[in-house]
Structure 1
Amino acid sequence: MAEQSPQETSPLMASHPSETTLTDQPLIDDEPSVSYFDMVKQECTWLSLSSVPLALSYFCQNSFVFISMLSVGRLGVNELAAASLSVMIINFTINMPCVGLACALETFCGTAFTGSKDKTQVGFHTQRGLVAVTLQLVPMAILFMFIDPLLEMIGQTEQVAALCGVFLRVWLLGSWPLVAFECLKRFVQAQGIMQAGTWVMTVVCPIHIIASQQLVWSDRFGLGFVGAPLATVLTNWLLFFGLVGYIACSKAKEAWGGLTLSCIDGIWEFYRLAIPSAAMMACSWSVFELVTFGSSIFGPVSLAAQACIFSAIAMTYQAPAAIGSATATRVGNSLGRGLQRRARVSSYVSICIGYVVGISCAAMFYINRHSWGYMFTDNEDVVALCSKLMPFFIFVQTFDGMNGLVAGILRALGKQSLGATLAFPSFWIVAVPIGFYLGMGAPDLQVVGLWIGLTVGVVLYSLAQQAFIFWCIDWRQEVKVCFDRLAISTTSKTPSPAASILCVEHGAANDYGTIV
């Protein structure tokens, strides 16, 4: 009888690695030749060096919004308010769900790269992510076409609503390359190639700065307000083509495997983790955007100050988010090799590094709290309100950064649903009621009240996630879960069953002390 190739729901080996490795044999990831202290040093070195290029990449990418805010801020308070509201809508309707879907690739691609001999499974899962984010864009594109009257219905002025509508419709032209870039970025990171995004950003960032200035303010090319989203469209396409070019010219292309419609078959296995991943991000991210919307109710000054403060949060968030992304790759690769002790140590080390980075950023911004607003506007009322909000900002940026870092660990473990479960009560049962009562209720603290509620929710969520990481995870069991997930989420694309056999010859694994 002809031997059948493995199917989506069939085990990839006659004897499943999780069964043989975790029951009858001792775990070889004890790595007796490596002391705990040496392992901590190795992980600290690897995470630090790997996070730096990622942080630079994230920082450059986020600076695009920062630069756009600087470009339109001098046009007037209404323009700054409209740009801030537009960014909020983009984050809420596109970036939040699409990045959440793309983040599920950190679960699948990281373990597939080390846990499967068929490296093209990394590209297979990436194509599933591309399909998912593309489908997400369709209803949002329709919404953006008719958003002006909707904004007026919820209380925005006619001028702000019109400006916001123009911003969103122009920005929509660059939406797909942005979300595709997010998927491809996870594709290369899963292979340990952390510098790809950095090289692309290094080239594109100066172009964005020049384009933003020229398209908004230049006497020859300047278009005023509409130039800001147009510069972003140009930047997004450059990011996409730049990363595609990098992949085509590097060893990363070996894991692509070519386009295949078979990625649609069984795509629910991707959505099973992608939907909780998006929900985890939605529960926290949506509260930040809700605070921006609540600030808009108190007038253009509050909304403009909110834009200034959120620009600072977006900047400081990038370093811990980069550490979290690097940790997700490290933990996923470790679990794919069955190295549970190293996965655990890597998680703990990353949390410690995150606190050092977060506290350092908090101190820097608090010292400069009275001058931060002047970077965006000369309006004294906006600057004063920025200074008033800064004490709450330092708590939010520190613990929200830790949320982004710990989310990377949870994604590597495939526990996105846990993150969503902890996020919902922290933000929607605690933070939102407190914030809106203090801001719009009897205390009438306005935007300050909203920030008090946000601070409570962010800190509570962060501590709950970290408590789970330190005290509730059975790392031996996570190795078994990792192999189980890889077995049922992989489709063989070749006649040979050997193409998708899990890599369990741990003795042949590379030294994890080596910097990738």
Structure 2
Amino acid sequence: MSYSTLPRIPSGWSQSDSQASTSPVSPEEGVVQSVIKIPSTTYLGVESTVAPTPQFERNTADLTSNERAALLASSSSAVAGSAADAPDQWAWRDVGCEARTLGRLSAPITLAASLQILNILVPGMVLGRLGTDAIAASALAMSVASFSAAAPLIGLLSALDTLCSQAATGSSRPGLPGIYLQRCLLLCIASFIPSVILWWNIHPIFIYLRQDPVIAAMAAHYLRYVTFSLFFTLAFESIKKFFIAQGFHHAISLVQVLGTPITLASVYFLAVHPATSIGYVGIPASVAISYALSSLMAFAWLKTYGGSRGWTGLSWEAFRGWGRMARLAVPGAVMVSSEIVALDLLTVATSYLGPTALAAQAIVSMTIQSSGTLLMGLSAVTANRVGNLLGLAQPHRARNAATAALGCGTIVGIVLGVILYSLRGQWSYIFNPDPEVHAIVKRMIPLLASLLALTVITALSLGILRGQGRPKIGAYMNLASFYLVAAPVGFLTLRYTSMGIVGLWLSFFMAVLTSGLGQLVFLLRTNWYDQVLKCEARLAHDGHHEGLMTPENHPSA
């Protein structure tokens, strides 16, 4: 076994320059002032920068029966020698190997997310059958819920994509991912309190904004139930990110699959069955029940079958370090919520066009949200794959993973767009039988199909940035695109043209295109060696300055 030195490669240097350089990191770079000594060996057919001791090999062999083996070593099909690859060794062959790895990791998550789409589509269909007022009120309520709490809080959870994935492979503290999970949940709960107060007193605000009195009363009542559904949604989504970071892809996917029939059964009994129905508010109540039970099942699996890996119990340390967490969580919140808030503002703007347009907007929004559920899984797997490899100090394989994700995302986006376009004549009737609503939705399908294909690429780009720990870039690009491009274009089309809802969605498409192109430019200019050093510096704060793993300090040793 040999030990190699991984120096920092300043931006603009070639990789061949880096291989000839052995100088330590300069203090002015502000990351790490000493050279990182990383073991280099061939392990399970892959040259890894984490050299296993005999004990480490035995422990990892035991782990190959579950998903976490992917965090510490790849299969023989993975790209070899990433930390020491020469420039001419980087080829599409390597990217193809990483694409197969991503496919293997994302397959269970994608399958579960596909089933989870039923949790959006079926409640939407039930609301449509309950009447136009019910679906319009739920659309207004969920729009307010999204931009006032749901989107920012889901964005806060995106910090776990960076911290848990890098800590799972880059820290010698076995319980550090669990501490990050607790810390992020506490931050979300504290941030949720003002929104809860707003939601329970929002009816006068709806009236002041000149909403239809009936719709306003129904939406205000609906929001009170959304309070509970969002709380349990946050709990489950944070646990899901924790599981993916630990490599438990199949386990969390199984929990999601089991949660789907729970949701459907709850919807039937609380919103459809005459004897037990509580009306349209049975939809958020069903979501709350489903996510609460799913969270309990996930945690029970971790304690029973997962060996509590990554979790060492509740810790007072979760109440410290909120500032460091916020530096990743807040940009993540902006990155995620800026797009969702823009989408929900479209719904608010559409509400002034009448109930028919608002019902069509609800169908379009559910279509985008359904695809977004699928994309969140793909994006999370990509973010964690990149973060895991950076934690293992394998910058070239992290780059290959990012390239493979974008390539696969392009194909997936095109396929989804074609499927939606082929269903343009029947899509709206799944949700609402109103022919006027159908005419509006059918006219918008070509634009939505193009938007869907573009959204896949943008979502994966954001996932890569989260895996790197650079959510600020996505936040800046989304803010500029949605509020300097989409907002003025949408206002002009609504005010001075007769395009109506189509003009609003055209402005949204332009914003997604602008943001996606900007993110790709930054990704192409990424210094992957620099990201490894920043990963170590980030983990050193919570790892008591233990640094990247070596055979001596690995938790399995």
- The match for 1:196 is 251
Q: For the structure 1 residues 113 and 35, does the alpha-carbon distance in structure 2 shift closer, same or farther, using more than 3 Å as the test?
A: same
Matches within 5 A, 1:41-120: 41-120=96-175
**Which residue identity does 1:186 align to in structure 2?**
K
- The match for 1:20 is 36
1:20 CA drift (Å): 2.9
1:16 CA drift (Å): 5.8
Q: Would the aligned equivalents of 2:82 and 2:395 in 1 still touch at CA under 8 Å?
A: yes
Q: Would the aligned equivalents of 1:191 and 1:252 in 2 still touch at CA under 8 Å?
A: no
1:509 CA drift (Å): 12
1:320 CA drift (Å): 3.3
Q: How far, CA to CA, are the matches of 2:257 and 2:368 in structure 1?
A: 22
- The match for 2:549 is 503
Q: Would the aligned equivalents of 1:106 and 1:328 in 2 still touch at CA under 8 Å?
A: yes
- Matched position secondary structure for 1:221: coil
- The match for 1:514 is none
1:194 CA drift (Å): 1.3
Q: Would the aligned equivalents of 2:481 and 2:511 in 1 still touch at CA under 8 Å?
A: yes
- The match for 1:11 is none
- Matched position secondary structure for 1:190: helix
CA offsets per residue over residues 442-468 of structure 1, 9 Å max, x none?
A: 213211110111111111111111122
Kindly indicate whether residue 480 of structure 2 is the aligned counterpart of residue 464 of structure 1: no
Kindly indicate whether residue 526 of structure 2 is the aligned counterpart of residue 480 of structure 1: no
Q: How far, CA to CA, are the matches of 1:338 and 1:100 in structure 2?
A: 26
Higher helix share: 1
TM-score (norm 1): 0.89
**Which residue identity does 2:518 align to in structure 1?**
A
- Matched position secondary structure for 1:296: helix
Q: Would the aligned equivalents of 2:172 and 2:543 in 1 still touch at CA under 8 Å?
A: no
1:504 CA drift (Å): 3.7
Q: Which has the higher contact order (CA 8 A, sep 6+)?
A: 1
1:418 CA drift (Å): 0.8
Q: For the structure 1 residues 16 and 415, does the alpha-carbon distance in structure 2 shift closer, same or farther, using more than 3 Å as the test?
A: closer
1:384 CA drift (Å): 0.5
Cα RMSD for the two superposed structures: 2.4
Q: For the structure 1 residues 259 and 133, does the alpha-carbon distance in structure 2 shift closer, same or farther, using more than 3 Å as the test?
A: same
Aligned residue among 288, 293, 311 for 1:238? 293
CA offsets per residue over residues 494-513 of structure 1, 9 Å max, x none?
A: xxx8xx4530459x999xxx
Greater shift in the superposed pair: 60-69 or 268-277: 60-69
**Which residue identity does 1:19 align to in structure 2?**
V
Aligned residue among 505, 512, 526 for 1:451? 505
Q: Would the aligned equivalents of 2:490 and 2:504 in 1 still touch at CA under 8 Å?
A: yes
CA offsets per residue over residues 392-437 of structure 1, 9 Å max, x none?
A: 1112212222221111100111111111111111110011110121
1:369 CA drift (Å): 0.9
Aligned residue among 496, 507, 511 for 1:442? 496
- The match for 1:4 is none
Q: How far, CA to CA, are the matches of 2:505 and 2:92 in structure 1?
A: 41
Q: Would the aligned equivalents of 1:55 and 1:318 in 2 still touch at CA under 8 Å?
A: no
Q: How far, CA to CA, are the matches of 1:172 and 1:372 in structure 2?
A: 30
- The match for 1:367 is 422
Q: How far, CA to CA, are the matches of 1:159 and 1:18 in structure 2?
A: 66
Kindly indicate whether residue 223 of structure 2 is the aligned counterpart of residue 168 of structure 1: yes
Q: Would the aligned equivalents of 2:183 and 2:318 in 1 still touch at CA under 8 Å?
A: yes
Q: Percent identity?
A: 28
- Matched position secondary structure for 2:283: helix
Q: Would the aligned equivalents of 1:133 and 1:180 in 2 still touch at CA under 8 Å?
A: no
- The match for 2:326 is 271
Kindly indicate whether residue 426 of structure 2 is the aligned counterpart of residue 376 of structure 1: no
Q: How far, CA to CA, are the matches of 2:339 and 2:130 in structure 1?
A: 31
Q: How far, CA to CA, are the matches of 2:484 and 2:251 in structure 1?
A: 40
Q: Would the aligned equivalents of 1:214 and 1:222 in 2 still touch at CA under 8 Å?
A: yes
- The match for 2:474 is 419
**Which residue identity does 2:36 align to in structure 1?**
T
Q: Would the aligned equivalents of 1:327 and 1:409 in 2 still touch at CA under 8 Å?
A: yes
Q: For the structure 1 residues 338 and 491, does the alpha-carbon distance in structure 2 shift closer, same or farther, using more than 3 Å as the test?
A: closer
- The match for 2:302 is 247
Q: How far, CA to CA, are the matches of 2:117 and 2:141 in structure 1?
A: 15
Q: Would the aligned equivalents of 1:174 and 1:236 in 2 still touch at CA under 8 Å?
A: yes
Q: How far, CA to CA, are the matches of 1:457 and 1:127 in structure 2?
A: 35
Q: How far, CA to CA, are the matches of 2:106 and 2:129 in structure 1?
A: 34
1:21 CA drift (Å): 4.5
Q: How far, CA to CA, are the matches of 2:36 and 2:387 in structure 1?
A: 20
Q: For the structure 1 residues 394 and 186, does the alpha-carbon distance in structure 2 shift closer, same or farther, using more than 3 Å as the test?
A: same
Kindly indicate whether residue 208 of structure 2 is the aligned counterpart of residue 153 of structure 1: yes
Q: How far, CA to CA, are the matches of 1:302 and 1:83 in structure 2?
A: 14
Q: How far, CA to CA, are the matches of 1:239 and 1:151 in structure 2?
A: 34
- The match for 1:10 is none
Aligned residue among 164, 185, 188 for 1:133? 188
Q: For the structure 1 residues 113 and 32, does the alpha-carbon distance in structure 2 shift closer, same or farther, using more than 3 Å as the test?
A: same
**Which residue identity does 1:155 align to in structure 2?**
R
1:254 CA drift (Å): 2.5
Q: How far, CA to CA, are the matches of 1:303 and 1:18 in structure 2?
A: 59
Q: How far, CA to CA, are the matches of 2:463 and 2:34 in structure 1?
A: 23
Q: How far, CA to CA, are the matches of 2:374 and 2:291 in structure 1?
A: 21
TM-score (norm 2): 0.82
- Matched position secondary structure for 1:251: coil
- The match for 1:338 is 393
Greater shift in the superposed pair: 54-63 or 230-239: 54-63
**Which residue identity does 2:280 align to in structure 1?**
F
CA offsets per residue over residues 304-333 of structure 1, 9 Å max, x none?
A: 111111211122233333222111111111
Aligned residue among 339, 353, 362 for 1:298? 353
How many residues are aligned here?
484
Q: How far, CA to CA, are the matches of 1:364 and 1:356 in structure 2?
A: 13
Q: Unmatched 5+ residue regions in structure 2?
A: 1-30, 39-47, 50-80
Q: How far, CA to CA, are the matches of 1:217 and 1:86 in structure 2?
A: 20
